[in-house]
């Protein structure tokens, strides 16, 4: 079990498969990209599967989410999913992607055992998409989303970040579109995880901003705290249901006290929090010959020291030294 001193137990594992990405979203990385991790520093497919196995069999993890960077860029992705789906007990498996390439691989991922996907899409306008991502791939994302639904990767969730002066008026249109296509929409507050440190608290689009915008077109009814559980998204039923919309307000409405996550970076570091400035190395122990029991104990020790909160509400907050693409979202 991965418990900490505040009584929280981590059962949800986020695994970054690569720090590379084929988009250049303005809130994530600079136009020229980043210096990618050297290949020898990345966990191999076998190492990823072994650490997931330790997490599931030794530490009580029940859900595994594959992230990046862009996880579809990982050549061994389908095999990794298939091997993790074969574990006993069998974890629930999901993937967070930008959707580019999903049209091609969605059937294979479903056959391998992937349960569902989250796809990032911040706008319905191709030109705005080009402005935000610096790439002309809007149509590819839409085709990827449609392919995920056809493949049965349900529920297909769409993640959207609203940026001031760019797409901040699109919340109602995005929700109307998501309902029409049968996707579950999640708005995510922009977080201070960009390497260029362009995030500004006083100009970001907040959860309250989003909800006010949605209320101009929809009637939203909040779900209970019991229904939310440890999920990061606060959810509302739309116009009496059955459709729902969520808002992940990591900055203005932090949910640290119910957090049930542990994170593994693409180079084998345990992170207790998305905003942590410290990491614990598992790759070194793994490659040094540690057995599963030692790896599990190192992981327990790392998570036991998890802080009470992210520190975002502290004026002295400092961004993590590594950007979102390296950490895994």
Which residues does the annotation place in the binding site for GTP? 14, 65, 96, 157, 261-263
Which residues does the annotation place in the binding site for [4Fe-4S] cluster? 21, 25, 28, 256, 259, 273
Which residues does the annotation place in the binding site? 14, 21, 25, 27-28, 65, 69, 96, 120, 157, 191, 256, 259, 261-263, 273
Name residue, tokens 């049965």: 152
The pLDDT value recorded for residue 196 is: 64
How many Å apart are CA 327 and CA 269, to the nearest integer?
9
Per-residue pLDDT of the chain (329 residues; tens, 9 = 90+): 999 999 999 999 999 999 999 988 888 777 777 788 899 999 999 999 999 999 999 999 999 999 999 999 999 999 999 999 999 999 999 999 999 999 999 999 999 999 999 999 999 999 999 999 999 999 999 999 999 999 999 999 999 999 999 999 999 999 999 999 999 999 999 877 666 666 677 788 999 999 999 999 999 999 987 777 778 889 999 999 999 999 998 888 888 899 999 999 999 999 999 888 889 999 999 999 999 999 999 999 999 999 988 777 766 677 777 766 667 76
The pLDDT value recorded for residue 329 is: 65
DSSP notation for 13-54: EEEE--S--S---TTTS-TT---PPPGGGSPPHHHHHHHHHH
- H-type helices in the chain, by residue range? 45-59, 77-85, 102-112, 126-133, 138-151, 171-181, 207-214, 225-228, 283-287, 292-304, 324-327
* Residue 157 bridge partners (DSSP): 118, 184
The pLDDT value recorded for residue 197 is: 63
Among 23, 134, 31, residue whose Cα is nearest residue 69: 23
2-326: CATH, from 3.20.20.70, 2.102.10.10, 1.10.357.10, 2.60.40.10: 3.20.20.70
How many Å apart are CA 328 and CA 68, to the nearest integer?
5
For residue 154, is it left (φ>0), alpha (ψ between -120 and 50) or beta?
Answer: beta
Which residues does the annotation place in the binding site for S-adenosyl-L-methionine? 27, 69, 120, 191
Write a three-state SS string for 132-161. HHCCCCHHHHHHHHHHHHHHCCCCCEEEEC
The pLDDT value recorded for residue 31 is: 74
The pLDDT value recorded for residue 226 is: 77
Contact assessment for residue 177 and residue 124, using Cβ atoms and an 8 Å cutoff: yes
The pLDDT value recorded for residue 199 is: 66
């Amino acid at each position: 079990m991965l418990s900490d001193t505040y009584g929280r137990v981590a059962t949800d594992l986020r695994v970054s498969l690569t720090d590379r990405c084929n988009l250049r979203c303005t809130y994530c990385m600079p136009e020229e990209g980043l210096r990618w991790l050297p290949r020898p520093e990345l966990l191999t497919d076998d190492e990823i599967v072994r650490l997931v196995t330790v997490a599931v069999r030794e530490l009580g993890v029940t859900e595994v989410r594959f992230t990046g960077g862009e996880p579809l860029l990982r050549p061994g992705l389908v095999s990794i999913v298939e091997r993790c789906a074969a574990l006993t007990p069998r974890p629930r498996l999901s993937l967070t992607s930008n959707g580019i390439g999903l049209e091609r691989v969605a059937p294979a991922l479903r056959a391998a055992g992937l349960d569902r996907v989250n796809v990032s899409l911040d706008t319905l306008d191709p030109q705005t998409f080009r402005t935000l991502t610096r790439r002309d791939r809007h149509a590819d994302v839409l085709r990827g989303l449609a392919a995920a639904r056809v493949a049965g990767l349900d529920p297909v969730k769409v993640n959207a970040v609203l940026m001031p002066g760019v797409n901040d008026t699109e919340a109602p249109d995005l929700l109307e579109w998501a309902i029409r296509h049968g996707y579950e929409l999640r708005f995510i507050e922009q977080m201070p995880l960009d390497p260029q440190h362009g995030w500004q608290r006083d100009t970001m689009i907040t959860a309250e901003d989003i909800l006010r915008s949605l209320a101009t077109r929809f009637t939203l009814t909040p779900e209970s705290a019991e229904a939310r559980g440890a999920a990061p998204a606060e959810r509302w039923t739309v116009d009496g249901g059955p459709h729902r919309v969520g808002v992940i307000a990591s900055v203005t409405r932090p949910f640290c006290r119910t957090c049930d996550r542990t994170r593994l970076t693409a180079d084998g570091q345990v992170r207790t929090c998305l905003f942590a400035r410290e990491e614990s190395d598992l790759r070194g122990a793994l490659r040094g010959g540690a057995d599963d029991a030692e790896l599990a104990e190192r992981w327990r020790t790392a998570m036991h020291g998890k802080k009470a909160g992210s520190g975002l509400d502290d004026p002295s907050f400092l961004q993590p030294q590594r950007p979102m693409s390296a950490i895994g979202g």
